Structure 1
Amino acid sequence: MFFGAGNLIFPPFLGMESGTDWVIGFLCFILIDVALSCLGIFALNAAGGANAAVEGSLGRVPGLVLNTAVILCTGMIIAEPRTAATTYEMSIVPLFGDSVNMLAFSALFFAVVLALSIRQTRLVSIIGKVLTPLLVLCVFVIIVTGVVYPLGEIGAPLSSHAAQDGILAGYQAMDVLACVGFAIVMENAARTAGYTRREDQLKVIAGASVVAGALLAVIYGGLTYLGASSALAFGAGMDRSTLIVEITKHLLGNTGVIILGIIVGLACLTTAIGLTGASASYFERTTHGKISYRTGVIVTVLVSFAICNLGLNAIVAFAAPILSVVCPPFMVCVVMVLFKKRMGTTWPIKGAALGAFGVSLLTTIDDTYGVLPAIKQLPFTDLGFSWLPFAIVGGIIGAVAFKAIKGNKESKAVA
């Protein structure tokens, strides 16, 4: 489910811009996209489930707002529409040109998504047993060919911010956000497969997360390398979708374009199915059954169908500021929820999330409108982590405040 549109188009573009620094960009990308995503699946389930973990850490209303924002981003507003738009631009247009229009294709694409996700119990079986093995095989064909027959020498970096570019690409891939819905899907799948004890569910989910993380890291490493080796061969200026098409065409000719079309279709279809099921399951749980799973599936598909016709570049453009605000506080929650029992209180999590959110919001406002230039002077801005020191400070303030209030209550009780 994790390997979708962004996972295919962002690593090669990152490699092209990073040049000889491609390993740095790649490592930062997998830190955000792979490590935190797979950790998040386990952490949220270990803390009682995706809904309970975040809401139990931030409070019911802030947790509900953050969870819902995450689900909307990964579902019907950004990630799912992007799957159809990417499939059209990278699978349909290179093979058929303008003879197939976007509206007709997206209607067919989401009809298939609807048919394959309407039954909740079939989700993981369809994706895991059929679609993903084909996807991985096709991706490996392109990567191995590119390693054995390199496109060219790796040149100097086109960007001086390889680490920051890797982090931002990790945000755009959106897997770290998808772990909210995917954690629910994995929990349902484990239970359906016969793992009724909580300990057994966590064990099988942890194992699946490790396997997924290893495969994703290998695939991303290969795709980033292909992009790095293409810069001198193709030159700068290509957009994300065009770059991977040209790389594949150069390596495998027209046959490669067909293989890429299959890869894109499978990658986007698996992710769209997973996101549809995750969104529907989330709203069913959140509304206590008032919005049924089937209703959630239908609404998610219809809204995604409407938005995807804006086109891939438009979706990527309006997604960037939204993700830059939502990702940091959510990542803080995912990491800190692992230590919630040891902390004995949720105050540090609340303080850290608030610190991350505040700075991310101000940074995004400056990136969009250029009205807060002082923000660029914050530490770690070049790495894309300007929010991190404030998250740490917020967490410390939360812990100190909790101890002070607790100590004051104990003093009054003794008196």
Structure 2
Amino acid sequence: MFWCRKFNFSALFRDGIGNYFIIAIIGFILTAVLIPFLSVISVALSENGLLAIGQRVHPIFGLIFAIVIYMSIGAFYGIPRAASVAYELGFIQIFSSSIESRLTLLAFSIIFFGLTYVISLNPKKIIDYVGQILTPILLLTLAILFIRAFTVFSYTDMPPAAHYQSNPFLAGFLDGYFTLDAIAALAFGIVIINGLKDKGITDKRNLLRATVIAGVIATIGLTVVYISLAWIGRVMPLSKTPKNGAEILVLASQQLFGFSGNILFGIIVILACLTTCIGLINACARFFNETFPGISYKNYVRIFTFIGLGFANLGLAIILKVAVPLLMFIYPIAIVLVVLSIFQHFFGGSHKMYVYATTVATIFAFYDMLGSFQIKIPVLHHILRLLPMFENGLGWVLPTLIAATIGYFIDYKPRGKSLKKAG
């Protein structure tokens, strides 16, 4: 379901990964695949999903954090972005850019969201629609592109760009960090879990087992897709540097299949974005229906469908400009909560561990968000830059780890060797 956003990442590797392909893609996979997988597992381990994870810090924080997650990655960002990408990189590629207009976008988005709405109305059938119909078609079209690329394109030596020269693993790791997949997985995780519950898997142990199995399968599939897309971006001959990964795949489809390549790539994009939209609307509607049951699930589906329709018609550029700073603020907090949730399952947790770590991560995330607006506090910036990986956007990692450790051991009881419950 996340693939709608993946068409941008191939440019990271085309941008100069050079002969460090393997080590950089390993770093990328860790943050683009492993952390989202852990996010889904953390949701499965919690009694009330994402809401319960945030409530380990404070009930009000948990509610606000969950709402922000669903509204940002869903209604105000993920849903309209999926439709916009489907239009600009799918529909327009199949037809002609000469027909591109506000009216065409409106007509396309009405059809797109109409189909999304119909499928989303029956949540018990979503897993069947996506798992048995849409995803196999998507995988088939991607497989056609990959197999053709592997038989036509050949690998040649290429010097790495400066971005990858000093530490290609960390560069790939950080590029995967900015895909924002951990946030999406927190929202999507409940779709998988609810789908399994709808199929009769309600026992907690069996539900966790089924979630892990589904996650492992998805992880393997996404890893194959990522490596294939990155390899295409690495070896495809280009006369000029593309603007983004989507343009790379458009050009790859054209080189491999001619005009029919536009149709193939357009189908891939539209199907990927359609599955993304269905999953996000379902996740948002179910969350708000369970949290604020005064409005029915179907009415929430209608609300998020119309919100997505409205925002999609603003255009992709505006959506990205408005949403990215907010997502940069959320992402470190999400990672901290996911890691602590997994840690708690094996070693026990504590309230202070969550509070201290989340507070520190929030402070750093807010400062990074200000930086996205080119706002810097000179004195504070000179102090913070002494932290490891601060210039790479990971300055929060060490202070947050220290804060979590302090909180963990404050709640630790040496005699009983137990910890205060985190909730």
Q: Tell me the TM-score normalised to structure 1 length.
A: 0.90
2:122 to 92, 114, 119: 119
Matches within 5 A, 1:18-33: 18-20=16-18, 21-33=20-32
Q: Which deviates more from structure 2 when the two are superposed, residues 236-245 or residues 331-340?
A: 236-245
| CA deviations over 1:375-398 (Å, ceiling 9, x no partner) | 444311354322101211221232
User: Contact 1:172 / 1:320 at 8 angstroms: preserved in 2?
Assistant: no
- C-alpha deviation, 1:180, in angstroms: 2.6
Matches within 5 A, 1:292-311: 292-311=296-315
Matches within 5 A, 1:373-412: 373-374=381-382, 375-403=384-412
2:219 to 213, 223, 235: 213
Counterpart-to-counterpart distance in 1, 2:171 and 2:311: 26
Counterpart-to-counterpart distance in 1, 2:219 and 2:67: 25
- The reply on whether 1:54 has 2:63 as its aligned counterpart is no
For the residue of structure 2 that corresponds to 1:38, the secondary structure is: helix
- C-alpha change, 1:403 and 1:207, in structure 2 (3 Å) is closer
User: Contact 1:167 / 1:383 at 8 angstroms: preserved in 2?
Assistant: no
1:102 to 95, 102, 105: 105
- C-alpha deviation, 1:50, in angstroms: 1.3
1:411 counterpart residue number = none
Letter in structure 1 aligned against 2:83: A
Give the count of matched residue pairs.
402
| CA deviations over 1:395-414 (Å, ceiling 9, x no partner) | 1232344359x99xxxxxxx
Tell me how large the CA RMSD over aligned residues is.
2.3
User: Contact 2:51 / 2:63 at 8 angstroms: preserved in 1?
Assistant: no
Counterpart-to-counterpart distance in 2, 1:303 and 1:125: 25
1:246 counterpart residue number = 251
- C-alpha deviation, 1:125, in angstroms: 0.9
User: Contact 2:84 / 2:313 at 8 angstroms: preserved in 1?
Assistant: yes
For the residue of structure 2 that corresponds to 1:265, the secondary structure is: helix
Counterpart-to-counterpart distance in 2, 1:384 and 1:146: 34
1:410 counterpart residue number = none
- The reply on whether 1:320 has 2:348 as its aligned counterpart is no
Counterpart-to-counterpart distance in 1, 2:313 and 2:335: 30
1:88 counterpart residue number = 87
For the residue of structure 2 that corresponds to 1:234, the secondary structure is: coil
1:144 counterpart residue number = 147
| CA deviations over 1:225-251 (Å, ceiling 9, x no partner) | 111223x52332523432221122112
- The reply on whether 1:197 has 2:203 as its aligned counterpart is yes
1:175 to 172, 176, 181: 181
Letter in structure 1 aligned against 2:98: D
Any gaps of 5 or more consecutive residues in structure 2? Answer: 417-423
User: Contact 2:39 / 2:182 at 8 angstroms: preserved in 1?
Assistant: yes
Counterpart-to-counterpart distance in 1, 2:127 and 2:213: 15
- C-alpha change, 1:205 and 1:172, in structure 2 (3 Å) is same
| CA deviations over 1:116-173 (Å, ceiling 9, x no partner) | 1011111111000000011011112112222222166353334515556645543554
Matches within 5 A, 1:215-294: 215-230=221-236, 233-287=238-292, 289-294=293-298
User: Contact 1:117 / 1:297 at 8 angstroms: preserved in 2?
Assistant: yes
| CA deviations over 1:62-110 (Å, ceiling 9, x no partner) | 1111111111122111111111111111112122223252121111111
1:11 to 9, 25, 31: 9
User: Contact 1:164 / 1:383 at 8 angstroms: preserved in 2?
Assistant: no
Counterpart-to-counterpart distance in 2, 1:66 and 1:154: 46
- C-alpha change, 1:131 and 1:159, in structure 2 (3 Å) is farther
Counterpart-to-counterpart distance in 2, 1:49 and 1:208: 20
Letter in structure 2 aligned against 1:43: S
| CA deviations over 1:25-66 (Å, ceiling 9, x no partner) | 433332222111112112211122313531342121111111
| CA deviations over 1:279-327 (Å, ceiling 9, x no partner) | 001101111x113211111111111111112222332333332221101
Letter in structure 2 aligned against 1:155: M
Q: Tell me the TM-score normalised to structure 2 length.
A: 0.88
- C-alpha deviation, 1:339, in angstroms: 2.5
- C-alpha change, 1:201 and 1:343, in structure 2 (3 Å) is closer
User: Contact 1:283 / 1:296 at 8 angstroms: preserved in 2?
Assistant: yes
Letter in structure 2 aligned against 1:260: F
User: Contact 1:6 / 1:172 at 8 angstroms: preserved in 2?
Assistant: no
User: Contact 1:57 / 1:349 at 8 angstroms: preserved in 2?
Assistant: yes
- The reply on whether 1:351 has 2:356 as its aligned counterpart is yes
User: Contact 2:349 / 2:408 at 8 angstroms: preserved in 1?
Assistant: no
Q: Which deviates more from structure 2 when the two are superposed, residues 331-340 or residues 342-351?
A: 342-351
Identity of aligned residues (%): 26
Letter in structure 2 aligned against 1:71: Y
Counterpart-to-counterpart distance in 1, 2:8 and 2:23: 15
- C-alpha deviation, 1:363, in angstroms: 2.2
Letter in structure 1 aligned against 2:340: M
- C-alpha change, 1:224 and 1:319, in structure 2 (3 Å) is farther
